[in-house]
Homo-oligomer: A and B are copies of this chain.
């Protein structure tokens, strides 16, 4: 899907398939080659990678100016400190949709379910930087439905199919479903939530396609900034 989207926009995309038995060192070598390749403006490491690979090290080897998928620790730090160029794509998509539909964020209670490095953590920081009061929940959270009940904005990013129930959410809450589970099922039980939600995203559709758009947008920006720099 990402390759097709690139083609539609006139972005050259190159897929590099490495064999299953590739070592971390070999993967890092490949990433470093792409870092140095002046014709490459964005690097996406398709994940999860096999267990024997140090995924975090691989992510953090991506040059920050080519980290269009927003996976590096440094990029996360910059996003959290509100000056990151390429936030992780799913969080970026969530904020893009919130802005597109003029959903108010400042002073609102946001509850984020899930704390992954490319989803729950960055979207929490981005909502915080927009002046929401943000609660970060996860598998060890006690009385989760009660916590969600207080939310004006619910971000479901937990990886459990149809997890969030309609009777957990407040009337009028805005529900963004960033879940991708087997069978194209989201993290939100759409049918029970749609009646109470002030706004809700479906799965499939919703956050997913916008996420791909964010990846493409970051790649174009990366290329444009590089060209602008080259012209100085």
Contacts and interface: CB of A to CB of B under 8 A. Distances in A.
Contact of A121 (B78, B80, B83, B115): B80
Nearest to A106: B140
Total copies of this chain within the assembly = 2
Q: Is the interface of A mostly helix, strand, loop or mixed?
A: mixed
Nearest to A59: B81
Interface stretch (A36-44, A127-135, A163-171, A180-188): A127-135
**Residue among A76, A77, A135, A136 with the highest chain B CB neighbour number at 10 A:** A77
A80 B115 CA distance: 10
Contacts of A76: 77, 80-81
A73 B78 CA distance: 6
A133 B147 contact: yes
Contact of A142 (B78, B107, B134): B107
28 contacts: A72-B77, A73-B74, A73-B78, A73-B80, A74-B74, A76-B77, A76-B80, A76-B81, A77-B77, A80-B80, A80-B121, A81-B117, A81-B121, A106-B140, A107-B142, A115-B128, A121-B128, A124-B136, A128-B136, A128-B138, A133-B135, A133-B137, A133-B140, A133-B141, A133-B142, A133-B147, A134-B135, A134-B136
Instruction: Give 10 closest A-B pairs by Cβ, nearest first.
Output: A73-B77, A77-B77, A131-B140, A74-B74, A76-B77, A135-B135, A133-B141, A107-B142, A73-B78, A134-B136
Given A115-B128, A147-B133, A140 B107 contact: yes
**Contact-residue size bin, chain A (C-beta under 8 Å from the other chain):** 20 to 34
Nearest to A140: B131
Contacts of A87: none
**Residue among A73, A76, A106, A124 with the highest chain B CB neighbour number at 10 A:** A73
Contacts of A156: none
A56 interface: yes
Given A115-B128, A134-B135, A135-B133, A107 B72 contact: no
Given A121-B128, A135-B136, 13 more contacts: A56-B81, A73-B81, A74-B74, A74-B77, A76-B81, A80-B121, A106-B140, A131-B140, A133-B135, A133-B137, A133-B142, A134-B135, A134-B136
